[in-house]
Chain A
Amino acid sequence: MKLKIIAYTILVFLSVLIQSTLGDSIKIYGVKPNITIVLIIIVALLRNNTEGAIVGFFCGLMQDAVSGTVIGFYALMGLYLGFIIGSINKRLYRENVLIAIFLTFVSTFVYEYSVYFFSTFLRGPLHFVDPIKNIILIEAVYNSVISIFIFIIVIKLHIRFEEYDKNSRRY
């Protein structure tokens, strides 16, 4: 349990830090990837919905603190992202990296469009094609590529956690 908390804290902390400082220097076509949501997706996919929701919540809360107009918006988005992906992972062959890439693509699409929707719908005209064409599609592809690296890191942790759980169950 302690091991899990420490590992997740370091992961969340690092991803937020890298995203907020170096995010701008790894832009492609003016769009930066979102490492934190990739982390949420992969953790939720490999582990379960509780851990996904907790990691999502804290990632979102950090994002609210660093860059956000109100506290709680990204926390809520992260919470649901982690929970939903964690809930469907039993039906997937989750230790396959292709599943992770595909799921990252789809959920980035849904997640970013919801962020766009909730931050725009009361303020001005909503568009469908423009934000998808200019930002979301590029970001989804970029995130999918990054998901491979994060998958490699998290699956190592996942195996370690599983072993640890088995050992502790024996006694």
Chain B
Amino acid sequence: MLRPFKNKKFILLFVTIVLLVVMGISSIQNNKINYVGDIFSTILSPFQRFINFTDKKINDFFAHFEDINKLREENESLKKTVVELVYENEKLLELKIKNDELRRTLDIKDQYNNMEMVGANIIAKDMGNWFDIFIIDRGTKDGIANDYPIVTSRGLVGRVMQSDLMSSKVIAIIDEESSISARLSKTSDIVVVKGDRKLKDQGLCIMSYIPADADVSAGDKVETSGVGGIYPKGIVIGRVKEVRQRTNELDRYAIIEPSVDFKRLEEVFILKEKDINNNETSEENK
């Protein structure tokens, strides 16, 4: 009965079919079979964290000797800016209080209000050259779930693609598989920002489905629209670098320069929903 299992070609065919089935099942989101990946990534993540930590420490150590003089100059200029910023900050705080009061009177729902920022380190990057996926050191044990947005202080980075026990896979907005509903700050037109394989290496992405009557020019700010439910409204994505035309005037696309520098990304923040009950209901709705 077991004779066919001794034939190499039969085993190969068998494994191939099993893998194809597994691929099919795992492409469905939130599936149980993704725990297979969970096992390996849980084993790997402490080691990745360690290597990443030592790598950073070694770099810091050498950088220490290089820029003592640079630091001294920088320190002086920074002190000046601190004084200026403290003054500015006081002014802005006043404005913030006023703004809050006005918002309360107008009853505008703030999408950030029920969000909490969780810091995370990038511990590993994609192994091949084709995708822009990276691993952060927070997982389901920190309450991270799929589709949580990832940001830095400068703007949008991407979203959680797959959260494992101790780490999560994050897909960057410059990856080909990512597409975000965005909004031009100037005219409030809704557009789509997508990753592109050719532009990815330069850290750029593409903006398409630009309405025909929209007034787009280089330097315009692009932010998330809040449509689609993953990203809250108003996170900065980047600026328009160049507007191009495909075949006629109506068919346009623009190249976006994200405000986040994807080549030098080390620490990110996860926007986590505060209310646990709220979270569960949103998952049920899927």
Chain A residues within 8 Å of B, Cβ to Cβ: 16-25, 30-32, 34, 36, 49-50, 53, 57, 61-73, 75-76, 79, 83, 112, 115-116, 119-120, 123-124, 130-131, 134-135, 139
Contacts and interface: CB of A to CB of B under 8 A. Distances in A.
Interface string B177-200: 100000000000000000001100
A22 B37 CA distance: 21
Nearest to A75: B19
B40 A17 contact: no
A79 B127 contact: no
A67 B26 contact: no
Given A23-B127, A115-B128, A130-B198, A70 B15 contact: no
The B interface is mostly helix, strand or loop, or mixed, namely: helix
Given A17-B51, A76-B23, 14 more contacts: A16-B127, A21-B123, A34-B128, A65-B39, A65-B40, A65-B41, A67-B131, A68-B37, A69-B177, A71-B22, A71-B34, A72-B26, A75-B19, A119-B130
Contacts of A36: 127
B125 interface: yes
B169 interface: yes
B89 interface: no
A20 B40 CA distance: 13
A115 B130 contact: yes
A49 B8 contact: yes
Contacts, number: 120
Most chain A Cβ neighbours within 10 Å, of B16, B26, B52: B26
Contacts of B126: 20, 67
B41 A66 contact: yes
B115 interface: no
Contacts of B41: 65-66
Contacts of B20: 72, 76
24 contacts: A16-B127, A18-B51, A23-B125, A31-B129, A34-B129, A50-B8, A63-B127, A65-B36, A65-B40, A65-B44, A66-B40, A67-B127, A67-B128, A67-B131, A67-B134, A67-B169, A68-B37, A68-B133, A70-B23, A72-B22, A75-B19, A79-B16, A79-B19, A120-B197
B130 A116 contact: yes
A21 B137 CA distance: 13
Contact of A24 (B125, B197, B201): B125
Given A72-B22, A76-B23, A21 B128 contact: no
B27 interface: yes
Contacts of B161: 69
B85 interface: no
Nearest to A130: B198
A22 B51 contact: yes
B201 A134 contact: yes
B12 A66 contact: no
Nearest to B198: A130
A67 B8 contact: no
A66 B8 contact: no
B235 interface: no
B47 interface: yes
Interface string B23-42: 10011000001101111110
Most buried by B among A19, A22, A65, A75: A65
A34 B130 CA distance: 12
Contacts of B26: 70-72
Contacts of B52: 21
